Amino acid sequence: MSGSTTQGSSGKVTLGQYLASIRTDRKLTLRQVEEATNKEVSNAYLSQIENDKIQQPSPNVLHALADIYGVDYGQLMEMAGYITNVKARSQGQRHGRVATFANHTLTPAEESELMDYLKFMRSRKKTSDKT
Amino acid sequence: MSGSTTQGSSGKVTLGQYLASIRTDRKLTLRQVEEATNKEVSNAYLSQIENDKIQQPSPNVLHALADIYGVDYGQLMEMAGYITNVKARSQGQRHGRVATFANHTLTPAEESELMDYLKFMRSRKKTSDKT
DNA sequence: AGTGTATGCTTGATATACTTAGCGTGCTTC
DNA sequence: GAAGCACGCTAAGTATATCAAGCATACACT
């Protein structure tokens, strides 16, 4: 965590406080940020975020802000209460033969058609279940 | 851009289709998943997600599902329309589609059947789809 | 028959992210 | 003082994710 902002002695820094301190640091107005994000984040909405009226802004909003502020997206996500743990699952057994598909490099069209066919296959199997 | 019209049956694999195929693949019921996620995702809600009634489930919901399915959280985030990484916003990932297949388990029987169908597909339509 | 149970799905209600319009204040410049 | 304008902020509305119940069908058992 960055203790960059003068958060004093009180508890944790909220997302709103953090975002507000960055903006005032950069001497930007709410409307300037609104412009910078191409209206993705309205000044009114940003105000609500900064005053913690919004509990969990959407990731894309956070991304826009992280982008123009030049701060870490993941950190904002975390402060907003999202799980950011992109932990590598132990996906050991899952592959195997399926890798054959990876070799083939399906086009999107092919993939969707295969996907449809897979659904069809499985709906067929419902009647004659079991291996 | 590739024609992103209201495709409905064929076209891109939606998040719902993907999640549904995984669950049926694992032979889990909606309520079993609800239990597995510790009620984080209700069966009713999961049903709506799988039928694409929900446009953008929250990251935490996606995380719960990614967790119990053992699939990549970031991929689900992407399929849900969230910005995941600060990289290539332009085009980049034509993979991750293939990963759709690679990530969840196909039975050997299903795989060979799909392979056959893929051959059939390719022998039939020679439209080179390049995006 | 009937009763029970499990499945996927829908319906209605609530919470909350987000939008749009506008307010109050302070600062210029007339 | 008044007009104009930028600032942060708020109030009211809309959209949508999520919850709580329940419905319909299918299958099992007596």
Closest CA to B59 of A90, A86, A71, A47: A86
pLDDT in tens, B67-117: 999 999 999 999 999 988 654 333 434 434 444 554 455 555 556 566 555
Domains of chain B with bracketed CATH: 15-83+91-124 (1.10.260.40)
Q: A94 with B103: CB under 8 angstroms? A: yes
For A62, name the nearest residue in chain B, comparing CA atoms only: B83
A→B contacts (Cβ < 8 Å), by residue, are 56, 58-60, 63, 66-67, 73, 77, 82-83, 85-86, 89, 91, 94-95, 97-102, 104-119, 121-122, 131
C-alpha distances in angstroms, B31 versus A66, B38, B40, B44, B47? Answer: 38, 10, 11, 9, 10
Residue B46 has pLDDT above 90, yes or no: yes
B51 touches strand D (CB under 7 A): no
Closest CA to B83 of A50, A36, A77: A77
How many whole angstroms from its chain centre is CA A124?
Answer: 37
What integer pLDDT is reported at residue B69 of this predicted model? 93
- Please give the biggest Cα pair distance in chain B: 48
Residue B52 has pLDDT above 70, yes or no: yes
Q: A30 with A43: CB under 8 angstroms? A: yes
Contacts of A58 in chain B (CB under 8 A): 56, 82
What integer pLDDT is reported at residue A118 of this predicted model? 60
pLDDT in tens, A14-31: 999 999 999 998 899 999
Phi, psi of A21 (to 5 degrees): -65, -35
Question: Å between B45 CA and D16 C1'?
Answer: 13
How many whole angstroms from its chain centre is CA B88?
Answer: 21
